[in-house]
């Protein structure tokens, strides 16, 4: 890979800025100053230093965020704050994006990465990747709802959902539930409850495939996936 591309990728500025940086003699590869932006380097094998400090190269970044309410799951928006706006600059330089959308008022597990292939695998409707949500529902969720969800419900636009696994944690004037679905239609959980005449008043995603929300993350906090989580996700095969 060209040295200018590599340094630009990890946040040393645009290709033009990196070119200038190289000209100053600040960059060394295996101890030898490199000024030519076209020079090829192998970041896996060679030691690359900028201003005397070794730089770590990597192509992909994988972040788990506990999304708070009030942020859009988008990469940019003219008026509203997005989940990317709360990332540190050092993470934003990788140009990551959220994998799938959580509504503005939904909390919980959001994977943010620049690995398009992984995102595609997790989001492809053909892959049926399960996602589990915790929700508080206005009204009493009953066994009849469990059965209805297991069979699939008809949304207001006529769409028949795939089976969902509904677990009632607490039932009453408001009910606490967990719901696992293998699709990701717009507002799906909310619309599934509307289909049985109930309203979601709080929604939080707990899992996506084999990735689980780290509950020690405060709302709005994020961290990189651990090696184990990443390996699990990359090897994840849904049914």
Q: What are φ and ψ of residue 151, in 5° steps? A: -85, -15
189 binds ligand URA (CB under 6 A): yes
Joined together, the tokens standing for residue 66 give: 């506990």
Instruction: Single out the residue of 2, 35, 178, 187 in contact with ligand URA (rule: CB under 6 A).
Output: 187
CB of 111 to ligand URA, least distance (A): 13
* Dihedral sign computed on CA atoms, order 203, 159, 82, 77: negative
User: How far from 82 is each of 7, 160, 206, CA to CA, in Å?
Assistant: 26, 31, 20
Residue 105 bears catalytic tag: no
CB of 190 to ligand URA, least distance (A): 4
Joined together, the tokens standing for residue 52 give: 């005397």
CB of 161 to ligand URA, least distance (A): 11
Spot the catalytic one: 103, 105, 176, 214: 103
175 binds ligand URA (CB under 6 A): no
Q: In the window 86-115, what residues touch ligand URA (CB under 6 A)?
A: 102-103, 106
132 binds ligand URA (CB under 6 A): no
User: How far from 191 is each of 140, 160, 168, 199, CA to CA, in Å?
Assistant: 16, 11, 18, 9
Q: Give the residue numbers marked as catalytic.
A: 103
Residues within the interface to ligand URA (CB under 6 A): 102-103, 106, 187-190, 203
């Amino acid at each position: 890979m060209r040295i200018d591309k590599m340094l630009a990728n990890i946040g040393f500025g645009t290709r033009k800025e990196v070119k200038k940086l190289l000209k100053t003699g600040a960059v060394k590869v295996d101890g030898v100053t490199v000024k030519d932006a076209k020079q090829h380097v192998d970041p896996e094998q060679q030691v690359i230093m900028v201003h005397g400090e070794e730089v770590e190269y990597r192509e992909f970044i994988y972040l788990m965020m506990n999304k708070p309410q009030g942020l859009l799951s988008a990469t940019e928006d003219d008026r509203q704050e997005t989940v990317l706006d709360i990332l540190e600059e050092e993470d934003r330089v990788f140009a990551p994006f959220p994998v799938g959308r959580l509504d503005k008022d939904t909390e919980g597990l959001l994977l943010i990465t620049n690995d398009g292939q992984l995102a595609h695998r997790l989001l492809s409707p053909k892959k049926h990747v399960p996602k589990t949500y915790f929700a508080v529902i206005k009204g009493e969720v009953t066994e009849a709802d469990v059965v209805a969800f297991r069979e699939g419900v008809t949304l207001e636009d006529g769409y028949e959902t795939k089976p969902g696994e509904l677990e009632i944690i607490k039932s009453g004037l408001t009910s606490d539930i967990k719901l696992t679905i293998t699709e990701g239609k717009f507002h799906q959980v909310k619309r599934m409850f509307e289909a049985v005449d109930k309203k979601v008043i709080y929604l939080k995603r707990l899992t996506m495939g084999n990735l689980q929300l780290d509950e020690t993350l405060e709302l709005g906090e994020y961290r990189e996936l651990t090696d184990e989580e990443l390996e699990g996700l990359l090897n994840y095969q849904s049914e």
